[in-house]
Amino acid sequence: MKERIGMRVAVAGGTGLLGRYVVEELVAGGQEPVVLSRSKGLDLLVGGAGLDAALDGVEAVVDVSNVTTMGARKSVAFFDTVGRNLLDAGARAGVRHHVVLSIVGIDRVGLGYYQGKLRQEAVVREGSVPWTVLRATQFHEFAGQTLDRVPSPLAVVPRMRTQPVAAREVAQHLVRLATGPAQGMAPDLAGPRVEQLVDMVRRLLRARHERRLVVPVRMPGAVGAGMAGDGLLPVAGETGETGARGVQTYDEWLAELVEQRRFARGG
């Protein structure tokens, strides 16, 4: 029988974009990941005995689960339910650290989806398991997600300032947090450079060799002002700390994407 080395760490949403990176980083660091996802037979919205069994022997949980919606009702319902199910099962299993990925600026920009992330943070704070919440900025992939949300000849893109970060670097940061002591609210994590989302989308279209008309729009009211301004950018904490900064720029990520596509086409 092979002896287990390192911590047993559960990854909620471990088959998604970020979750796969978290699993890879855990394996590379000698930890034992336990993937919690519907494709693995676990519905996090249901919980129950299957979740209890999956968390047996788990020392830390990394929650990067997600729901595709812009609406507050669906987002709040999802993150509240999944958060409570994970925390309750974790408490029964003796989990010592619960780590959640959140988003920079959700307390300053009132998007419906962000209301769910705020509820998730509140549920974690109210739970009995020691916790860490990491707020990160949007990933480099966010531009593509914005494009693909409405496939059409027009690309309607909100005016938004962001400081995009590589998803793999976020995963590395989450693993470091999960294998250490609980911190409560960790310093924000952001990328190395502030970008305009509209410009990111245009550069991505060129890299994809796609011809679509980019139509910048400003969201109405305070939400639009926050997105177009500094609402989604990291700020210094009470003691002046600015949090960690990623290394890979958006343009470097784009170049990597182009190279991967060229390789997939056989040169």
Q: Is residue 232 part of a domain?
A: yes
139 pLDDT higher than 70 = yes
CA–CA separation, 120 vs 126, rounded Å? 10
Q: Is residue 178 part of a domain?
A: yes
The pLDDT, as a whole number, for residue 1 is 37
Q: Domain count for the chain, please give it.
A: 1
Q: Is residue 63 part of a domain?
A: yes
pLDDT tens-digit series, residues 112-132: 999 999 999 999 999 999 999
Q: Is residue 62 part of a domain?
A: yes
Phi, psi of 15 (to 5 degrees): -105, 0
Q: Is residue 124 part of a domain?
A: yes
* Higher pLDDT pick, 100 / 261: 100
The pLDDT, as a whole number, for residue 135 is 97
The pLDDT, as a whole number, for residue 202 is 96
* Higher pLDDT pick, 3 / 87: 87
242 pLDDT higher than 90 = no
The pLDDT, as a whole number, for residue 240 is 61
Residue 220's closest CA among 116, 137, 109, 73?
109
Helix (H, G, I), strand (E, B) or coil at 75: helix
Local confidence band at 2 (pLDDT 50, 70, 90 cut-offs) = very low
Q: Which of 80-89, 101-110, 234-243 has the lowest mean pLDDT?
A: 234-243
5 pLDDT higher than 70 = no
Counting residues of the chain whose pLDDT is more than 90, the rounded percentage is: 84
Range of the structural domain that residue 21 is part of: 8-264
The pLDDT, as a whole number, for residue 6 is 85
The pLDDT, as a whole number, for residue 150 is 79
- CATH number of the domain at 166, please: 3.40.50.720
pLDDT tens-digit series, residues 208-238: 999 999 999 999 999 999 999 999 999 876 5
71-78: long-range contacts (C-beta < 8 A, 24 or more apart)?
A: 71/112, 71/113, 72/112, 72/113, 72/115, 72/116, 73/112, 74/116, 75/112, 75/113, 75/114, 75/115, 75/116, 75/117, 75/119, 76/115, 76/116, 76/119, 77/116, 78/45, 78/116
pLDDT tens-digit series, residues 47-75: 888 999 999 999 999 999 999 998 999 99
Q: Is residue 73 part of a domain?
A: yes
Q: Is residue 3 part of a domain?
A: no
The pLDDT, as a whole number, for residue 3 is 47
